[in-house]
Amino acid sequence: MDEKRTVRVSRFLSMVLRHRPEAVGIVLDEAGWVDVDELIAACATRGRRFSRAELDHVVATNNKKRFAYSPDGRRIRASQGHSVEVRLGLAAAVPPDVLFHGTAAASVGAIMREGLKPMSRQDVHLSADAETAVRVGARHGRPVVLAVDAAALAAAGHEFRVSANGVWLTDAVPPERLRRISG
């Protein structure tokens, strides 16, 4: 599978498994899972054909580990980033003292006034390291990295969870727990 096709299939799967399962006529269960064979068949009927081997390749090589198979390999879901209602069943976790959020420079003013909000997603996404946050922010323009005082938030009762691909999730981050560190 060439890189161009891998990216196309990955982007399409992100759209379907995170935002619009109805676009191919599937229904995710409450935890975001769908049967792999059902997904492949539904996509094929909508003109988006890929094989199980190609799906395996996308799951295995996605640098952000956006997708995960169930332990038996018969179901698949997006690891996080859903705009559709799902309960990933992630246990609460104690975060590192500092987490990071990458954003575009154009968004920093509003974020510093209002804090981080999930926007169209279910959770605020945070990175364990600044380098990852730079890459995330660069997707939207000139990147800015914000440090999040996760220790203070956890002490104040904010719940944190970590997804299968290492993204830290929380409900919101108030502006007083943010500090601009680059960009």
Identify the structural domains of the chain with CATH numbers, from first to last: 3-78 (1.10.10.970), 98-182 (3.20.170.30)
Higher per-residue pLDDT: 154 or 86: 154
Distance CA 55, CA 124 (A): 28
Confidence of residue 107 (pLDDT cuts 50, 70, 90): very high
pLDDT digits (tens, 9 = 90+) for 59-75: 999 878 899 999 999 99
pLDDT digits (tens, 9 = 90+) for 41-54: 999 999 999 999 99
